[in-house]
């Protein structure tokens, strides 16, 4: 967790790929550390320890679920956006082409004062 916090504080100074790898690896590391604590820890059987692990695991699970929902919503928005942008760009191109064609069709008023 210290690595996650330190990379968050130094995010502006780190390559994005490094920052992302550290943060993506935080969840599997939490799972392995929890399993290790429960199987090898001397205090793993105490009610206080089980309660703390339960609260921490529930918090991580809720936050992870929320993050996945946000990512899916963002992907759905992004998937819909390019079609609208492309359609708008296409409409702008057609409008520009029509304006150029209209200008070219105008009679030339030579000698007009």
- Tens of each residue's pLDDT in the chain, 113 residues: 788 889 889 989 999 999 999 999 999 999 999 999 988 878 888 999 999 999 999 999 999 999 999 999 998 888 887 665 555 566 677 777 777 666 666 665 555 55
* pLDDT for 43: 83
Q: Is residue 33 part of a domain?
A: yes
Q: Is 10 domain-assigned?
A: yes
pLDDT digits 0-9 by tens, 37-48: 988 878 888 999
Domain presence at residue 35? yes
Find how far residue 68's CA is from the centre of its chain: 10
| pLDDT confidence of residue 1 | 78
Counted domains in the chain: 1
Asked if residue 59 is part of any domain, the answer here is: no
Strands, E assignment, the chain: none
Q: Would you say residue 85 lies in a domain?
A: no
The answer to whether residue 101 sits within a structural domain is: no
Tell me the C-alpha to C-alpha distance, in Å, between residue 15 and each of 10, 12, 28, 110: 10, 8, 22, 62
Within a 10 A sphere around the Cβ of 28, how many other Cβ atoms? 9
Interhelix angle for 16-24 vs 26-40, to 10°?
30
Residue 23 belongs to what domain range? 1-41
């Amino acid at each position: 967790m210290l690595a996650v916090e330190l990379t968050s504080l130094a995010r502006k100074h780190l390559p994005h790929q490094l920052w992302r790898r550290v943060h993506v690896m935080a969840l599997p590391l939490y799972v392995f550390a929890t399993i290790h604590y429960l199987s090898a820890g001397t205090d793993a059987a105490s009610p206080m320890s089980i309660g703390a692990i339960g609260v921490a695991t529930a918090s991580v699970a809720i936050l992870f679920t929320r993050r996945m929902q946000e990512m899916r919503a963002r992907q759905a928005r992004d998937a819909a956006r390019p079609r609208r942008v492309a359609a708008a760009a296409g409409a702008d191109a057609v409008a520009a082409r029509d304006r150029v064609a209209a200008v070219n069709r105008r009679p030339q008023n030579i000698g007009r004062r």
